[in-house]
Structure 1
């Protein structure tokens, strides 16, 4: 094998994007003052949020202190994450008429701050109480809402914490949009979201997000790419988000994660690999659980282990596969960094205020809700893994999701910036800075904690299907009907389909759009896969 050369440290890249956790929530206790590092965490800080007077104990307790999580499924039910919820979390504002409202029940002025306001980071408790009430139908007790002010220790999350300590962690990596999943994932790969500000209704993503993508730019410059999706998730949210631009690639470039493991070991990874965890039922994405908001019971066995333990277990699988990429030629650990990131913080507490950012296109009209995209979301975890990274590094400068596009544009010569957002983003290629690479045999080998068993009963799955899944299902079913695909009678009205029906139908419809993600891995390839030409025809 040729001697590793730092010049080639970024010839390829692997990116895995998890879901809905803030930096404080996941990595806030990674280092303390005794570690002698400049690290913006939570240890040694007196952090809290006020309790609104209209809540239980709002008058007598006044505040909720920030503490260690005792529940690996916290927060449960899930916290608010849309733009109007994030407004409350960041600025402490909740309009009286929007109190206890969720989703489309929220109306003008959507808890928005006045122009130029500085985030106070003191509305997490107020928003959680309001959201909980809207989901459950009653106000939470103090013990129920206090867990929004908790975060995890390295001992509770040994995989991500072990990797972060052995490589480089960003302690000022910010989400691009103060809102939820689809917009932020779109900024990762397009540096904008075509003015869209919330996920719902998800049907709009099949027509409205027409922004040019990183994937197309890669192809235009002779670069290869794949999106690897954790099994058994039958769809790719990247494909849904960028459907207008990537519709002809859904059947060829979106494959099960097991193929990443094979490609990494064989040295056949593409130039750009994007990994999606399972973001539906039985998550592998660190996403907060959904059970209590969709069932009359206290908890659902299906969704409970999804919050943290399944995410840490999937990251261990990603890390092991990446570490195995030691082939003598092609992509390997010496020329392919692994970037571990998140899409958005999802309403979990963080203490660092996000700053102003340039709109993607200053000349464009305001987006949904009149938002001009001139302020960002708040901090999320981000870690850079490579033999060329100094172990125990902490990167204190501000980075954002568009730092990925900015870095690849610079390192790979991909042409002009996509938008003003990535044009202004800091790049990270210089962080691959060691004179000699570290041998993968010397890297940490963290072990994930056991993941509890969970049910695959269709009724339970249907009830606890993630919020993303509950939205994407009807959107894909409606699109399939428009394309002339026959769907089951039980989903003639996809918005009101029964839980037991929606699960099977979602997989069947997903197979029309993402045929390689619904292949039975136990079957021979030639018996289960269409040719690329036939599959591409089906996807259109």
Structure 2
């Protein structure tokens, strides 16, 4: 394990991927001006977005960046699909009829700018949030309601992720791969492409058509172990669903719960690559903003997914820090990455760069050519070979994970042109000797308020994310077992969804079945 090159300073990579936060939203106040040599945050900058003329309070002119006043903002959830992201990046709504429509009803050019080479202006977040709020609730929001899209959290509000960022390395120019939502960005994380798919819907798209080779397949070919660990509250793995054509043979053997991760970390049994998935559903601990309102004034959420995410991150970090196996995985030979899939509609001020398309430059869903990057997301690296208060200012992106694994474990050529151009993480590990465990910062999560179950009446329809996930699970179930369930995710209640998932979990995901 011991070596002088960064790529020889870890034998195990652990990634925990959270949901839907931009860099500014979660870490923009991490450092004050002058605290470190360089940091692209929000403190000390005059940042704002204009208010559209049709919104209440438009006479104020702009909404400035400000400190969040709620641990549940933005609530309801912001738009994250490709058309919403286009509006956020460029301030465009095209055609005009898209303004108050749900994303699935929007028409070409899906709010994209007239000039494909135009640089993002980053001035459409307030406009899009006003439009999204109107689409979801049937009314225009008041100023205090839409202003929350420009709110950002301080280190005091999110002490766990902030302490880890200050204690090790934070990347302030790390971008997700696609200006869109969850499934396509998570696909890029492990495959460097999404097979031309840009949005989550229709449900069967990813489990049926996303057949791109993944880094998991490369690890298999090299005889290296990997495992996907899923929060016990999740009845399925999002990674498995997204990459069903490639990973379904491993559902029974390589997918298990976070309980197994904590045991494996303690015993020094971590594989070469571990990928951790939080709970994305009821009582979600994934940092995801509040789910879209089911009805005006009512949202299907626990007290705070940020507090839940902080608590989970503290446990994951502490497990890596405490691991001291003399022969297996331990704190000194493990690289931990804290990552997010995409920005989820929350504000960021840095324009995403243009990027090389991953495959042949043919247009995918919604005519998108995958030649524009997604928005900055919070990403941290934790290693005994990193000094505290490291800020990595060079451009990195989510496919840097693929590049890093390929380089470290000799996994062959790039999966796509995207990971071929992504930066390797290993060179940032510059210490000659590892930091001792006692030199790693202690982290303490703020208390997570108890969940009042059921928070949402089980006879209510699912929120949009739950609808997406149930629909995809049904498509996956049908593909793998031939079972055609008598349930429609668009109308299913919480009770119906729960009963269906309990019935099918053991058949598809035996490693995730409660023990």
The answer as to 2:68 corresponding to 1:89 is no
For 2:323, the equivalent position in structure 1 comes to 325
Contact 1:23–1:171 (8 Å) recurs in 2: yes
How much has 1:379 moved relative to structure 2?
A: 0.3
The whole-number CA distance in structure 1 between the counterparts of 2:209 and 2:369 is 17
Alignment of 1:256-335 (within 5 A): 256-290=257-291, 293-296=293-296, 298-300=297-299, 303-335=301-333
- Corresponding residue of 1:48: 48
Cα distance, 1:80 vs structure 2: 0.2
Question: What does the per-residue CA deviation read over 1:342-371, in whole Å, with 9 as the maximum and x for residues that have no partner?
Answer: 00000000000001000001x342101111
Check the 8 A contact 2:461/2:491 in 1, yes or no: no
**Residue matched to 2:61:** 62
Matched with 1:422 is 419
Task: Give the deviation of 1:4 after TM superposition.
Answer: 5.2
Aligned to 2:144: 143
- Deviation at residue 480 of structure 1 after TM alignment: 2.8
Q: Deviations over 1:73-117 (max 9, x none)?
A: 000000000000000000000131011111311111110112101
Q: TM-score, normalised by structure 2?
A: 0.96
Q: How many Å separate the matches in 2 of 1:364 and 1:36?
A: 40
CA distance in 2, matches of 1:495, 1:465: 8
The alignment status of 1:188 with 2:189, answered yes or no, reads yes
1:483, distance to aligned residue in structure 2 (A):
5.2
- More deviation, 346-355/93-102: 93-102
SS of the residue corresponding to residue 143 of structure 1 reads helix
**What pairs up with 1:391-470 in 2 under 5 angstroms?**
391-457=388-454, 459-460=456-457, 463=460, 467-470=464-467
Taking a change above 3 Å as real, the CA distance of residues 493 and 149 of structure 1, as seen in their structure-2 partners, is closer
Measured after TM superposition, the shift of residue 470 of structure 1 is 1.6
Q: 2:468 — aligned with what?
A: 471
Aligned CA distance change for structure 1 residues 449 and 374 (closer, same or farther; 3 Å): same
Task: Indicate how the Cα distance of structure 1 residues 467 and 325 shifts in structure 2: closer, same or farther if over 3 A, else same.
Answer: farther
Give the alignment's Cα RMSD to 1 decimal: 1.8
> Within 2, Cα distance between the matches of 1:282 and 1:426?
35
- Once the two structures are TM-superposed, the CA of residue 222 in structure 1 deviates from its matched residue by 1.4
1:253–1:144 Cα change, 3 Å: same
Of 376, 383, 386, the match for 1:389? 386
Structure 1: unaligned runs, 5 residues or longer: 521-540
Contact 1:281 1:465 in 2 (8 A): no
Cα distance in 2 between the residues matched to 1:79 and 1:274: 26
Q: How far off is 1:189 after superposition? A: 0.2
- CA deviations on 1:137-173 (whole Å, 9 max, x unpaired) are 1110111000000000000000000000000000000
Change (3 A) 1:484 1:397: closer
What are the residue-to-residue correspondences of 1:104-253 with 2, within 5 Å?
104-113=104-113, 114-253=115-254
Report the TM-score, using the length of structure 1 for normalisation.
Answer: 0.91
Preserved CA contact (<8 Å) 2:203 2:475:
no
Measured after TM superposition, the shift of residue 36 of structure 1 is: 3.5
Q: Which runs of 5 or more structure 2 residues have no equivalent in the other structure? A: none
* 1:505 alignment counterpart: 500
How many aligned residue pairs are there?
511
Does structure 1 retain, via aligned residues, the 8 Å contact 2:207–2:475?
A: no
1:516 aligns with 2:511: yes
Shift of 1:231: 1.7
Call closer, same or farther: CA 1:22–1:458 in 2, change over 3 Å.
closer
1:61 deviation in Å? 1.1
- C-alpha contact 2:36 2:389 (8 A) present in aligned 1: no
Residue-by-residue CA offset, 1:2-34 (whole Å, 9 max, x unaligned): x95555422111011110000000100000113
Mark the CA change 1:247 to 1:412 in structure 2 (over 3 Å): closer, same or farther: same
3-state SS of paired residue (2:60): coil
Structure 2 counterpart SS, 1:317: helix
Offset of 1:453 from its aligned partner? 1.5
- Contact 2:241–2:476 (CA<8 Å) still a contact in 1? no
Closer/same/farther in 2, CA of residues 141 and 289 from structure 1, 3 Å limit: same
For residues 165 and 461 of structure 2, the distance between their equivalents in structure 1, rounded to whole angstroms, comes to 31
**Is the CA contact (8 Å cut-off) linking 2:293 and 2:463 kept in structure 1?**
no
Listed one character per residue, the Cα deviations across residues 41-89 of structure 1 (whole Å, up to 9, x for unaligned) are: 000000000011111122x111111100001000000000000000000
Identify the residue that residue 495 of structure 1 maps to in structure 2: 490
SS in 1 for 2:276: strand
